[in-house]
Structure 1
Amino acid sequence: MNLPFSFRLLIMAFVSAVWANSAFAVEITPFRTTNLNPLIQIYGLPSETSSTVLAAGSSQLQLTQDIASLYSTKSTANEHILLDGELYRWTLAGRYGITDRLELGLELPVTLQGGGFLDGFIMDWHRVFGLPQGGRDTAQKNKLRYYYSRNGVKQLDISHASGGIGDLSILGAYRLFEQQTETDHDTLALRSQLKLPTGDSASLRGSGGVDIALFLSGAMNRRTEWGTLGLFASVGGLYTSDGDILKNQRENFVGFGSTGLGWSPADWVSFKVQCSLTSAFYNQSSLSELGKATALLTTGGTLKLPGNYQLDIGVGEDIAVATAPDVTFHLGLSKKF
C-alpha cells in the first residue's frame, strides 16, 4: 500500500524528533538495588554502583523501595535451613559533590520483615508458567520463619515480625575518568562504602559489625540513530567483620560485581537489564542459601518525570536458585539539584 507523501513525511518527522531527543536525556545507569536474602542484606553490599560522580556543589536525593518475597528450605546430613517471609526495605540516600572529582554521601535503610501477602500471587505465577513451587505451596501461607541449625544445634530462629532502621552507610566516590562528546559519554569512578552497626542485629536489621567496600564502576553511553545504548559494570571487594550473625561461619572477604546494558529510544524512557554476582558470604556450609555464590537478575527501566525526577522500576529474580529472594520488586525515585 502506497501512503501519501505528506503522511510519510509526518511519520519521518515524528521518528526523527524522537531520536533527536534521545541523547543522554535518560542515560543508562545501574539499578540501585542489592541482594535482599535476609542473611546477606545485613552486610554492606553496595547498592549505589553508578560511575557518574556529581559536579562540585551538585546534589542528589534518592528514595528506593524494595519488596522481596522468599521461600527456601533444604536439609543435609548436618544442616537444615528455612527462609520464609517477606522483606520490605526503604532506603534514603543523599550524595553531594565536594569537588568536580569527589563526592560524599549517606545511606540509611528502614527494614520491615514479616509474613507478607505475596505467597498466593507467586504460587499462581509459578503455576501459570509451569515453574517449580519449591515447597511454597505446602507451607503455611504468609508466615515469617528464618531458621538454621548446624550439627543439631540451633544457630538462628526468628519468627516475629519487626521493623526499624538498619545500618547507616557513608558513601564516597572519586572520578577517575570522564569523556563526553555529542554522541559519547564514558565514565570511570572509584567508589567506597563504610557501613556502621546502627541496626538491630537480633532482628536482622544489621550485622552488628563494621563493613568496608571498595570497587570500580564504569559506564559507556552511545547515541545512535536508534536511540541511546548503554553498558555499565562494577567490580570490587567487601570486608565484613564477624558481627553477631553466624559469626563462626563468616567469610570476611567477599568479592562482588555487576554488569548490565540498556537502550533509551526516547528522552523519557529507557529499558535495562542488570546481573549482580557475589562470592559466598558464609563457609562450612553446602547450602545454596549460605555457602554458595549468589546471582541476581534485575530487569526493567527508567522513566523521566517532570521536575527532573527519575523513576526506576525493576523486578529481580534469583537466577542462582535460593541465593537471593524468589522475586524482588524495586522502585527508585531520584532527583538532582
Structure 2
Amino acid sequence: MTRTAGFHTIAAVCFTILFAPSAAAATEIVPFESTNQSPLVQIYGLPGAGNAVVLPRGRTEVGLNVALSNNYAVNENSREDIILDGETTRFTVAARYGLFPGLEVGVKIPYISHSGGFLDGFIEGYHGAFGFPNAGRDQAPQNRLLYRYRRDGVEKLRIDSSGSGIGDLLLTTALQLYQEEIQGMTLNAAIKLPTGDSDQLRGSGSTDFSLWLHERTGGAFSAGNWASYGSAGILFMREGKVLPDQQKRWVGFGTLGIGWAPLEWISFKVQADAHTPFFSDSDLKEIAANAVQLIVGGTISFSERTALDIGVSEDLIVNTSPDVAFYFTLRTRF
C-alpha cells in the first residue's frame, strides 16, 4: 500500500464513525477552512478560499475552526540548519455578515498554542503499520517542541517552551460578481493586523493585505450533487519581525477542489492548497520552497443551518507544510 493510499484510508475512517443526523437539508459543498499550518507560514495573513456565494443581507454565519497540526522536519546545508518538531493547535472564531445585497464582511480571531503535543506515537505507529519511513522521527525525542533555525552560525529563531495566546486578527470582505443557483464568483479582500506575539510565532509582526477571486460551479447527476471550486490571489506583506531580512513582500496562493454529495446530509471533498515561498535567500525547502498540501474529508449537515467539516491534510511537497493536520469546522447561520 502506498503512503497516499494509507492516508486516504485514514480519512475514510473519519466518516465511518459518524452516523446520519435525524434531519438535514442538502449539504452545501464549500472549501475546507484550511491554510498551511507550518509554524513559519501560519503567522501570515494567508486566507482560506472563502465562499463563492455571499450571505444575503442581514444574515450571519458564525463558526469555530480547529486546526491541529503535527510538524516534523529536519534539514541542513553548509550554511543553515532547521528543526521544526512540535504541534500547533489553532482555534479560530469566525463570523461573516451580509451587509448589503451582494456584499459581506467578516472577522477571524485565532487563538494559537505551540506544544510538544501528543500525536508523535500515533504517527510513528501509523507509519510502521503501513510501511512508511519515519524519516528520523522515531529517533527524535517524542512529543518534543523545538522550532529552530540557524544561519551562518547565528540562531535566527527558537521556540522550545509551550505557550498559547491570541494570534493575528483577520478582517475580510467579499463582493458577489455573479450568482446562479449554487454557482457563483466572488471578489475577496482581507487585511491581517499584527495582534499576536511574533516572538512566540503567534503572529508575524506585519500588516498583510490579500486579494483573490473564488469561483464555484456544480450540478446534479444520478449519484448525487457535485461541485468544483477554485481560487487564486495575491498576498502583500509589510516587513515583519520573523526572519525580516529573508521575508518576501509578495506571495501568490490558490486552491482547487471538488466535492460530491451522494446524500442530502453528507458530502465528500478533495482539495489542494498551494502558495509560493514566504522567504528567500535559503536553500532549505522548509524556508524557501513552493508548498502544496492535499486535504480530504467532507461535511456533515445536522440541519438546514448547521454543518461540520472534517478534513485531514498531507504535505504533497514534503516538509513545506505539516506532516499531517486535522481540520474541524462547526458553523451555523441565522
TM-score for both structures, normalised by structure 2? 0.92
Within the candidate set 250, 255, 265, 2:252 is matched to 255
Deviations, residues 4-50 of structure 1 (Å, cap 9, x unaligned): xxxxxxxxxxxxxxxxx99x811211001111000000000002522
Q: Give the distance between the partners of 2:262 and 2:120, measured in 1 at CA.
A: 36
Instruction: Flag the 1:236–1:307 CA change in 2: closer, same or farther, 3 A.
Output: closer
Cα drift, residue 201 of structure 1:
0.5
The answer for the alignment partner of 2:52 in structure 1 is: 51
Q: Give the distance between the partners of 1:160 and 1:188, measured in 2 at CA.
A: 44
Q: Give the distance between the partners of 2:94 and 2:152, measured in 1 at CA.
A: 41
Does the CA contact (< 8 Å) of 1:28 and 1:221 recur in 2? no
Which structure 2 residues correspond to residues 191-270 of structure 1 after superposition, within 5 A? 191-270=188-267
The answer for the alignment partner of 2:131 in structure 1 is: 130
The answer for the alignment partner of 1:280 in structure 2 is: 277
Which residue identity lines up with residue 265 of structure 1 in the other structure? P
State which structure, 1 or 2, has the greater radius of gyration over its C-alpha atoms: 1
Does the CA contact (< 8 Å) of 1:194 and 1:213 recur in 2? yes
Q: Give the distance between the partners of 1:307 and 1:64, measured in 2 at CA.
A: 19
Deviations, residues 240-282 of structure 1 (Å, cap 9, x unaligned): 1121000000111000000000100111000000000000110
Q: Give the distance between the partners of 2:36 and 2:242, measured in 1 at CA.
A: 17
Deviations, residues 108-132 of structure 1 (Å, cap 9, x unaligned): 0000100001101000111111212
Cα drift, residue 219 of structure 1:
0.3
Q: Give the distance between the partners of 1:242 and 1:275, measured in 2 at CA.
A: 28
The answer for the alignment partner of 2:83 in structure 1 is: 82
Does the CA contact (< 8 Å) of 1:111 and 1:205 recur in 2? yes
SS for the counterpart of 1:245 is coil
The answer for the alignment partner of 1:121 in structure 2 is: 122
Cα drift, residue 99 of structure 1:
1.0
Q: Give the distance between the partners of 1:50 and 1:203, measured in 2 at CA.
A: 31
The answer for the alignment partner of 2:12 in structure 1 is: none
Within the candidate set 279, 299, 302, 2:299 is matched to 302
Which residue identity lines up with residue 187 of structure 1 in the other structure? G
Does the CA contact (< 8 Å) of 2:49 and 2:254 recur in 1? no
Does the CA contact (< 8 Å) of 2:49 and 2:255 recur in 1? no
Which structure 2 residues correspond to residues 311-330 of structure 1 after superposition, within 5 A? 311-330=308-327
Deviations, residues 271-305 of structure 1 (Å, cap 9, x unaligned): 00000000011000111111100011000000001
Cα drift, residue 308 of structure 1:
2.3
Unpaired segments ≥5 residues, structure 1: 1-20
Q: Give the distance between the partners of 2:186 and 2:84, measured in 1 at CA.
A: 36
Does the CA contact (< 8 Å) of 1:58 and 1:336 recur in 2? yes
Unpaired segments ≥5 residues, structure 2: 1-22
Within the candidate set 279, 287, 301, 1:290 is matched to 287
- Compute the RMSD of aligned alpha carbons: 1.3
Cα drift, residue 206 of structure 1:
0.3
Q: Give the distance between the partners of 2:321 and 2:132, measured in 1 at CA.
A: 17
Q: Give the distance between the partners of 1:273 and 1:25, measured in 2 at CA.
A: 19
Q: Give the distance between the partners of 2:243 and 2:147, measured in 1 at CA.
A: 13
Cα drift, residue 307 of structure 1:
6.4
The answer for the alignment partner of 1:31 in structure 2 is: 32
The answer for the alignment partner of 1:14 in structure 2 is: none
Q: Give the distance between the partners of 1:27 and 1:212, measured in 2 at CA.
A: 28
Deviations, residues 70-113 of structure 1 (Å, cap 9, x unaligned): 11000101110000000011000000001111100110000010
TM-score for both structures, normalised by structure 1? 0.91
Does the CA contact (< 8 Å) of 2:49 and 2:231 recur in 1? no
Does the CA contact (< 8 Å) of 1:27 and 1:230 recur in 2? no
SS for the counterpart of 1:89 is strand
The answer for the alignment partner of 1:111 in structure 2 is: 112
Q: Give the distance between the partners of 1:258 and 1:239, measured in 2 at CA.
A: 18
Which residue identity lines up with residue 327 of structure 1 in the other structure? V
Matched residue count: 312
Which residue identity lines up with residue 230 of structure 1 in the other structure? A
Does the CA contact (< 8 Å) of 1:27 and 1:221 recur in 2? no
Cα drift, residue 151 of structure 1:
1.2
Q: Give the distance between the partners of 1:48 and 1:238, measured in 2 at CA.
A: 13
Q: Give the distance between the partners of 2:71 and 2:256, measured in 1 at CA.
A: 24
The answer for the alignment partner of 1:147 in structure 2 is: 148
SS for the counterpart of 1:289 is helix
Cα drift, residue 176 of structure 1:
0.3
